[in-house]
């Protein structure tokens, strides 16, 4: 079922998060008025995180972004948080709520790293089976080079580890702004099509454009 949703989606958003959302003082005040001081504080910290680029290595960026979302948000199922079976939140919605599920963690990390200058080609939103939980799960994977074993950014195991060390995850397929791949062991896998067809992603993009809550 999830695969049917995925085969049919754009996982590319031309502008960075920072460029699309003007996080001015006035905008932050609107967030605080509507969602409270803690929500506004999370958004301000996120804005400050994206402002620091030039002096960081990519691995430092991975660590900061992974820690930021893992430490400032909590896991809550979509059915409880949004009253729907499956909902992909924008990074801003995720931070305002202070909660989300595995897709929200992976998506927020993906867009934030793009805003920090990490090449889209190095990242994949990867569906896996979490073997200990016996359920579908999403993580963000990072390939330093096309032939590298990917690093896994996860909300279950919060330490960034090479995929070969994550024996608890069984890769299924992955996608980013340029395509959709079937998993092959711990590598990049076989490309099976464009990623411009996922309905949930189109809905996410529309909400990002409107900065909708």
Domains belonging to the chain, first-starting first, are 2-210 (3.10.620.30)
* Better-scored residue on pLDDT, 33 or 2: 33
pLDDT, average across residues 45-65: 90
pLDDT of residue 13: 33
For residue 130, the tally of other CB atoms under 10 A from its CB is: 19
**At residue 192, does pLDDT exceed 60?**
no
- Alpha helices by DSSP H, 98-198: 102-115
pLDDT of residue 6: 35
Q: If pLDDT is split at 50, 70 and 90, which confidence band does 198 have?
A: low
* Better-scored residue on pLDDT, 172 or 109: 109
Tell me if 203 sits within 8 A of 88, measured CB to CB: yes
pTM for the model stands at 0.81
Q: If pLDDT is split at 50, 70 and 90, which confidence band does 134 have?
A: very high
pLDDT of residue 202: 72
SS (H, E, C) 11-57: CCCCCCHHHHCCCCHHHHHHHHHHHCHHHHHHHHHHHHHHHCCCCCC
pLDDT of residue 179: 55
pLDDT, average across residues 184-209: 60
Q: How far is residue 200 CA from its own chain's centroid?
A: 13
pLDDT of residue 23: 76
pLDDT of residue 211: 58
């Amino acid at each position: 079922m999830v695969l049917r949703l995925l085969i049919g989606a754009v996982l590319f958003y031309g502008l960075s998060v920072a460029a699309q959302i003007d996080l001015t003082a006035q905008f932050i005040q609107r967030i605080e008025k509507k969602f409270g001081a803690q929500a506004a504080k999370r958004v301000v910290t996120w804005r400050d995180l994206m402002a620091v680029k030039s002096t960081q290595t990519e691995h430092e960026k991975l660590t900061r972004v992974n820690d930021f979302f893992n430490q400032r948000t909590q896991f809550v199922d979509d059915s409880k948080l949004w009253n729907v079976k499956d909902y992909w939140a924008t990074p801003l919605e995720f931070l305002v709520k202070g909660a989300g599920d595995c897709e929200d963690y992976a998506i927020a990390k993906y867009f934030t790293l793009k805003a920090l200058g990490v090449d889209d080609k190095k990242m994949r939103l990867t569906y896996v089976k979490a073997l200990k939980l016996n359920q579908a799960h999403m993580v963000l994977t990072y390939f330093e080079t096309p032939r590298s074993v990917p690093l896994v950014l996860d909300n279950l195991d919060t330490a960034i580890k090479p995929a070969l060390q994550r024996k608890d995850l069984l890769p299924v397929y992955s996608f980013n702004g340029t395509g959709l791949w079937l998993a092959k062991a711990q590598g990049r896998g076989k490309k099976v099509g464009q990623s411009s067809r996922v309905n949930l992603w189109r809905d996410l993009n529309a909400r990002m454009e409107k900065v909708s809550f």
